Amino acid sequence: MKPVCVFRHARTEGAGYLGTFLEQNAIPWCEVRIDLGEILPASADAYSGLVFMGGPMSVNDDLPWIGQAMLLIQEAVKLDIPVLGHCLGGQLMSKALGGTVSANPYKEIGWCEVMVTDHAEAKKWFGDVERFMSFHWHGETFTLPAGAIHLLASEHCTNQAYALGKHLGFQCHIEMTVEMVKVWCDTGRSEVESAITSAGVQPVDEIQRALPERVYALNTLAHSVYSVWIQGLKREIC
């Protein structure tokens, strides 16, 4: 089986729980560390799936790899290779597929409930779950690409996830681990403090309250979602 390729855009924003999930399911995967200057692959065809993680930059920034990433996404969709995006990754997918990315009315940092839309496609990905507590760290939002189905919304951000066939884009972070949350709170403390008046931003102490229990519940939800996504991985024909 060809590996799943995970694109890391920042040192602190790697595969997280997704990496654990792939290993537990004996799915080979590799990582392209864009933050270290590693070169993006020339084609998506070498992989069974593509995953784009988060990052502090904007997809509207003038960075050389952003255009290359969007070309890979477009190629993967054309080749029926499933794409999965988390936060920045979901924004990259949206822009690559004809959507737009712009400032969200509220910055969201911390734990916030997301609601699952009443749609058969949402039930396919989330089963009988109607709402869950997810993790957030973003100031921008995406529009849905043409043909995409709206899956999740929160109080402060309407577009939290969408599906386009076997392709899945998130604004929120379902890949979090306890260690990732702690590191983000440490490295991003000044950002939290400067945005604390936003209705969607929580103090660091609240973000880290009951952390093992919150992350465990989120990992359980992510396990179910990722289990659906890997069913679409492109298998090699013998």
pLDDT, tens digit, 9 for 90 and up, residues 182-217: 999 999 999 999 999 999 999 999 999 999 999 999
Domains and CATH numbers, the chain: 4-232 (3.40.50.880)
- The whole-chain average pLDDT of the chain stands at 97
Q: Identify each DSSP E strand in the chain by its residue range.
A: 4-8, 29-33, 49-52, 83-86, 101-116, 131-142, 149-154, 161-164, 167-170, 200-201
**Residue 114 β-bridge partners:** 132, 154
Length of the chain: 238
Confidence band for 238, pLDDT divided at 50, 70 and 90? very low
Q: What is the pLDDT of residue 235?
A: 80
Cα separation, 96 vs 74, in Å, equals 6
Entry pTM: 0.97
Contacts of 127 (CB under 8 A, 6+ apart): 224
Catalytic residues: 87, 173, 175
What whole-number distance in Å separates Cα of residue 236 and Cα of residue 233? 10
